């Protein structure tokens, strides 16, 4: 059976967007060193102080809208891999991102799942209407789905809430032949569990690309450390030239 081709799943985290100018969360000087998760990224925080939570996301939304934050060559390389892998009929490439920015879309990735939601979308807490949002929230806006006022929130998954599309994600992980984890510290579950889920299968080759070993680093078949903009284009070229590497099974 040709194991050098097949479906690929790539999990991305804040590290892939860092060189586009978006800070990560847990690196030195990261977002969570400047603001408490409990104050801005939980349902309780929203209940206690909706204006503070809305303002936190309004600021992040505005940064994405000012046109200064653009995809980098790592985002572009993943979009190229998806396109060429499919056109060669070698399988499907799906990006599962923990990021709420839209840089994968801007780079051209189409098979894309935002498991933590999207900063450029809003959701009605009453009727569930989800729509593209280019405006500040929390100032008396009306839901276009149910005409209620002051019911819109960022379509972002807060701590303690269930990430999106988990059934679809585990279905993709079950089928893939290559799992790449890219630019994530492996701190937040269930994303941090994906390597345990795929790593035990003899048919899946796993690669970690990061600046430093993540919490799950020892579970990967291969790890490479450095900048995403150096590592990702190289790995994509290797995959397009040589296909999926084969696991080294211990010879008895």
CA distances from 162 to 15, 62, 133 (A): 22, 25, 22
DSSP code for 99: -
For residue 40, what are the CA distances in angstroms to 47, 51, 56, 178? 10, 10, 7, 35
Q: What percent of the residues of the chain are helix, what percent strand, and what percent coil, each to the nearest 5?
A: 35, 20, 45
Task: Select the residue interacting with ligand APR from 94, 102, 109, 185 (CB under 6 A).
Answer: 185
Report in angstroms how near the CB of residue 102 gets to ligand APR at its nearest: 14
Active-site residue list: 116
38 binds ligand APR (CB under 6 A): no
Host H or E run for residue 180: strand 178-182
Please state, in angstroms and rounded to a whole number, the distance separating the CA atoms of residues 81 and 111: 11
C-beta of 96: minimal distance to ligand APR in Å? 11
Q: State yes or no: residue 214 binds ligand APR (CB under 6 A).
A: yes
Which residue's CB is nearer to ligand APR, number 176 or number 235? Answer: 235
- Binder to ligand APR among 125, 187, 196, 218 (CB under 6 A)? 187
Among residues 212, 234, 238, 246, which is the contact residue for ligand APR, using CB under 6 A?
Answer: 212
Choose which of 20, 76, 94, 98 interacts with ligand APR (CB under 6 A): 98
Min separation Cβ 9 and ligand APR, Å: 16
């Amino acid at each position: 059976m040709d194991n050098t081709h097949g479906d690929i799943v790539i999990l991305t985290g804040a590290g892939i967007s860092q060189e586009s100018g978006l800070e990560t969360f847990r690196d030195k000087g990261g977002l969570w060193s400047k603001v408490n998760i409990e104050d801005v990224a939980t349902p309780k925080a929203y209940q206690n102080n909706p204006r503070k939570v809305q303002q936190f996301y309004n600021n992040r939304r505005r940064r994405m809208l000012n046109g200064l934050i653009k995809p980098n060559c790592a985002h572009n390389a993943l979009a190229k891999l998806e396109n060429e892998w499919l056109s060669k009929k070698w399988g499907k490439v799906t990006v599962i991102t923990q990021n709420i920015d839209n840089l994968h879309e801007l780079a051209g990735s189409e098979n894309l799942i935002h498991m933590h939601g999207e900063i450029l979308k809003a959701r009605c807490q009453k009727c569930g209407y989800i729509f593209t949002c280019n405006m500040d929230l929390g100032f008396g806006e009306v839901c276009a789905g149910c005409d209620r006022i002051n019911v819109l929130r960022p379509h972002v998954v807060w701590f303690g809430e269930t990430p999106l599309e988990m059934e679809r994600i585990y279905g993709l992980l079950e089928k893939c032949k290559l799992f790449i984890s890219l630019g994530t510290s492996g701190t937040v579950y269930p994303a941090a569990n994906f390597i345990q889920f795929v790593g035990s299968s003899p048919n899946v080759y796993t690669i970690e690309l990061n600046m430093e070993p993540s919490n799950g680093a020892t579970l990967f078949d291969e790890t490479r450390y450095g900048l995403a903009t150096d590592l990702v284009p190289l790995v994509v070229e290797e995959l397009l030239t040589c296909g999926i590497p084969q696991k080294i099974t211990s010879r008895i």
